[in-house]
Structure 1
Amino acid sequence: MGSIRVVFVLVPKLHLLDLAGPAQVFSTAETLGYGYELTYVAEADEVMTAQGVPLKTQPEWPELGPDDLIVVPGWRSPRLLPVPPIGPETRQRLRDHHAAGGSVASVCSGADALGAAGLLDGRRYTTHHDLTEMMAARYPRATIVRDVLYVVDDRVITSAGIASGIDLALHLVAGARGAEAAARVAREMVVYARRNGDELQESAMLRHRGHLSDLAHRVQDVIDARYADRLLLSDLADQVCVSERTLTRMFTTATGLTPLRYQQLLRLERAEHLIGHGSTIEAAARAVGFEDARMLRRLRSRT
């Protein structure tokens, strides 16, 4: 089994986790004997990360073959820069590697570098949810896929923000070395065993937490921890020392949902994850707290 070379292209203000997550996956795979070799290149001898940690880089690009991979981690970019921080030579290397049969990947805003190299044109891709509209406008010949973890299209692999780079890397290990290898790496790293690419970037636990109601947050804490249990509205109201009517009114004002609907969303997301990993609808329904699969089927049909 020959080694797969993974080249990380480092740019100024890159996010450490965009780099460290995938690098940890591939280096753990190497430690476990799956044959990976990591290289870090840049257009400067040293790159400063967004978190203030300077990184030394290697001056020369290695020779790459069709089995090798180039990864562009993302950089700090609440908005896209006028021009992605990679020069013409790096763009050409990305194009040449892909044209020779190799794979290229990005994390978060790293997709902007692939777009600048022309590798998104005619392909599907994703990026961090904060950048989707700007990327869609910048690369109209590409098709952006919103709110998923990663997208694979003709050896161009793009992932969402920050931690999703781990999911992308585990997916690539599974494709190159098998699902057992990816599972061993995930277990060694103590991370969620490989999430599917079409899972949501933001869970309901995050989407409905952007309010300032302490009462609603406390109720959400209870539901988050016990979403598979039968939770009575009266018990939730007792937890926060208000009436059922007051609880429903304040919770709905803060989150846009009733407590029951919020619990159903959590159950539905967890069930979709289980189904995506091979569970039957019936087994998933039982695992998340439904008495049978009928309610789960109704909720899935609505969404």
Structure 2
Amino acid sequence: MIMSDRIMRTKIVFFLLPKLHLLDLAGPAQAFSTANDLGYGYDLHYVAEVDEIVTAQGVPIRASRDWPELRPADLIVVPGWRSPRLSPRTPIAAAGKQRLRAHHAAGGSVASVCSGADALGAAGLLDGRKYTTHHDLTDELAARYPKANIVRDVLYVVDDRVITSAGIASGIDLALHLIAVERGAEAAARVAREMVVYARRNGDELQESAMLRHRGHLSDLAHRVQDVIDSRYAEQLRLSDLASGAGVSERTLTRIFTTATGLTPLRYQQLLRLERAEHLIGHGATVESAARAVGFEDARMLRRLRARPLAG
């Protein structure tokens, strides 16, 4: 699903705070940058409350104080800063907190990596929601934000357009999830391959994307068939054609695919369709239009799948 020049690109704004961890920033920035290089339409921006941020690793980073104009489809990401202990006061000014609140109130998404969750908490965005953070910080953040619901030992959590991740390399996991939801499973798979990362998820909310969730196996044949389904999930794919393309019988394909992923090829395709349809519905599409967009002839099948989600 390569983006057309006529489609408005998604802005990803990294809000940089003092002593941020390089990988908390570099991981998701690389994922979104790679997605943009592959034609999936992302514009990256780096803003801060000062002109220069010195990272926890001692590398200075120049940033802009001027925020770009944001739409609801855009994302603000707050990378984490030095841990394992939180600072007594969250290093974010009142104006920064208001930026986060206003963007979310306007329908936008906000995300954090590691201790970046502290900034979301200070802005009041964690209250009443589930979230996660680095395991060294869970007790401190749980005490600091008692109205929020900490989820321990998971890679990331999504709750009402507030997306939090565990920290360090899990920022890549978070970015791949968002790319899969917004641009499709094929896009996330291509980015993961370009970055030479192992696309495997675990934890709360099934860690969302079916493509990523069912890629943690070593079957080359299953991966090749998943590549086909990922790129053509909205089409009518016959098992016989998938098997022929893989050079095996239908029975062999079903056995190997199910052993590797836990799903039959058809159930895997349906799960991709369901997740993409849920994303479209969450952004204002009707059930009928979402069903057509993901390849269902009418909305009845989508309604059945939404009522009884597939296992996986």
Q: TM-score under structure 2 normalisation?
A: 0.64
Q: How much does 1:2 deviate?
A: 1.8
Q: Which residue is 2:261 aligned to? A: 278
Q: Which residue is 2:48 aligned to? A: 42
Aligned equivalents of 2:36 and 2:176: distance in 1?
13
Identity %: 76
Q: How much does 1:59 deviate?
A: 2.4
SS in structure 2 at match of 1:105: strand
Aligned equivalents of 2:78 and 2:22: distance in 1?
12
Q: Which residue is 1:14 aligned to? A: 20
Q: Which residue is 1:252 aligned to? A: none
Aligned equivalents of 1:16 and 1:60: distance in 2?
22
- The correspondence for 2:72, drawn from 54, 57, 66, is 66
Query: What residue identity is the alignment partner of 2:123?
Result: A
Aligned equivalents of 2:180 and 2:261: distance in 1?
16
Aligned equivalents of 1:148 and 1:8: distance in 2?
22
SS in structure 2 at match of 1:172: helix
Q: TM-score under structure 1 normalisation?
A: 0.66
Quick check: 1:102 aligned with 2:108? yes
Would you identify which runs of 4 or more consecutive aligned residues in structure 1 move more than 6 Å? none
Q: Which residue is 1:149 aligned to? A: 155
**Cα deviation 1:138-177 (Å, max 9, x = unaligned):** 0000000000000000000000020000000000001110
**Cα deviation 1:217-254 (Å, max 9, x = unaligned):** xxxxxxxxxxxxxxxxxxxxxxxxxxxxxxxxxxxxxx
Q: Which residue is 1:239 aligned to? A: none
Aligned equivalents of 1:168 and 1:44: distance in 2?
26
Q: Which residue is 2:297 aligned to? A: none
Quick check: 1:183 aligned with 2:204? no
Give 5+ residue unaligned stretches, structure 1: 201-273, 282-303
Q: Which residue is 2:293 aligned to? A: none
- Assess, with a 3 A threshold, how the Cα gap between structure 1 residues 29 and 194 changes in structure 2: closer, same or farther: farther
Q: How much does 1:198 deviate?
A: 3.3
SS in structure 2 at match of 1:62: coil
Query: What residue identity is the alignment partner of 1:67?
Result: A
CA RMSD, Structure 1 to Structure 2 (Å): 2.2
CA contact (8 A) 2:153 2:203 kept: no
Q: Which residue is 2:36 aligned to? A: 30
Aligned equivalents of 2:29 and 2:190: distance in 1?
16
Q: Which residue is 1:160 aligned to? A: 166
